[in-house]
Amino acid sequence: MKQYDFVVIGSGIAGLSFALKAARHGSVGVITKRKGADTNTAWAQGGIACVTSDEDSFELHVRDTLEAGAGLCDERVVRTIVTEGPARIQELVDLGLQFDEREVSGHREFDLGREGGHSKRRVLHVQDVTGKEIEEILLRDLRRQPHVDLLENHMAVDLITAGKLGFATEDRCLGIYVLNEKNGEVETIRSDRIVLATGGCGKVYLYTTNPDIATGDGVAMAWRAGAVIANMEFIQFHPTCLFHAKAKSFLISEAVRGEGGILRNNRGEDFMKRYHARGSLAPRDIVARAIDAEIKRSGAQCVFLDITHQPPEFIQERFPHIYETCLRFGIDMLKQPIPVVPAAHYQCGGIKTDVNGATSLAGLYAIGEVGCTGLHGANRLASNSLLEGLVAAHRAAEASVCARPPSHTAQKISLPKWESGGVQDVDELVVIYHNWDEIRRLMWDYVGIVRTDKRLQRASARLRNLQREIREFYWNFKVSVDLLELRNLATVAALIVDSALSRKESRGLHFTLDHPETEDRQFKRDTLLSRG
């Protein structure tokens, strides 16, 4: 049995930031189911929203965040994360991250981008590969730490809690079971501080901007352990994913619209002016619904993002990754609009936490996209996600270092080994893959950008059947990454549907034709789910 002072599951911006700070106070195990750099963070193009300009202010950033969140943001959390952001940005700069700069009146300053929902330019970026640069710098520093083990190709299976072991004490996390993908064995890891930084659940939908690792593992594990889950009905669909038969999950950054890109329909019209005063720079929920409406109205397969009016040298310097990727698929964004469609992008709900990442289950923290601090409300403001990851990781590290586990767990207690029983290897992988595809397609068709009660009820009924099939697989066959991810996908899909069914109004990212109005009197509150 391995034992650490801190265990972090996930190696994106939140997980790595926490691990680097926790390593000053004890041993840290970082568990990641692929390579260390295989994260949602590494795919982030736009940048980090943070107040760094004299033309901007904390009040403006707070106001923009609250407006995007459609009445469900926790204003105290918003203010904390916005005001503590600059200090966390400086820590990245101190590690060696070089945000893009420009020369103004003989001195250098950050070259700030603007994105949908922002009233000022405040997005720090490294061209259009900001997340990749952050990931590389944090990983490089992590590998230098003597008290940190980076366990790659290890997938968390389930949390071990006092309640599950029958302890007659307060329920709390005591460890975790982890599948070592190299030898197929499930290992037991002991710790009084478990930090979930597993990212989101984009792969629960057929079309997503997320990498394949985004299967909702953290939310599913926390739910099974009894933690409170909040606001899972609010799934953000990014308005502009590249539409091409051979392109897989490639995001066209919101920064393209921030630099003057215009959304046009198949007739070449700037249609967003009909939907919002900010046009193509409206908040994401509004833009995604508008694109969905235009596609359905015209029967077209996509809309188009046009930035051809900008100088070619500017486009190539500001968006080299997007330019080269589009060119590889035969699209020259210097001369022609980019075909785009909405795709599942970000979960605004997750494991309910306070601003320090503490969950309802003692010893368990959740930071980054997997956690629901109250920052995003019913719709995330663009580029607030990386900011939240940094601030929440810092605060969770401080809080967990100060937290004292109960005396009975401070001793070296022995956790039970994983018991496989008489299971066998899965001999019908086709069933797993079929169930995986069915979940993703029914979620896209029934629980997408626009919803109805009938569609949600159909999704709920089918998911109950699928969960029974998957439980049978789980208990009768040897665990594998594919089986574990399928199990987690089904769990998270059901949580999204249950949350959506309970909200009989339209707010932010949850829009239903049966209840098209916002109803503050009944629903200006979080949707909370718990097995307890």
Give the containing element (helix H, strand E) for 522: helix 520-523
> What does the chain come to in residues?
532
Which of 10, 63, 68 shows the shortest CA–CA distance to 41?
10
Catalytic residue among 122, 172, 193, 284: 284
Q: CB 109: neighbour CB atoms within 10 A?
A: 13
Which of 365, 361, 262, 356 shows the shortest CA–CA distance to 309?
262
Catalytic residue list contains 88: no
Instruction: Extract the runs of DSSP E, i.e. beta strands, from 205-309.
Output: 229-230, 235-242, 262-264, 303-306
Exposed/middle/buried for residue 153 (C-beta within 10 Å: 0-12, 13-18, 19+): middle
Q: How far is CA 206 from the centre of its chain?
A: 16
Exposed/middle/buried for residue 182 (C-beta within 10 Å: 0-12, 13-18, 19+): exposed
Which of 262, 266, 235 shows the shortest CA–CA distance to 380?
235
Rounded CA separation 432/392 (Å): 36
Task: Find the radius of gyration of the CA atoms of the chain.
Answer: 22
- Could you tell me which residues come within 8 angstroms of residue 341 by beta carbon, excluding any fewer than 6 positions away? 207, 240, 241, 243, 291, 295, 301, 302, 303
Give the containing element (helix H, strand E) for 86: helix 75-95
Catalytic residues: 284
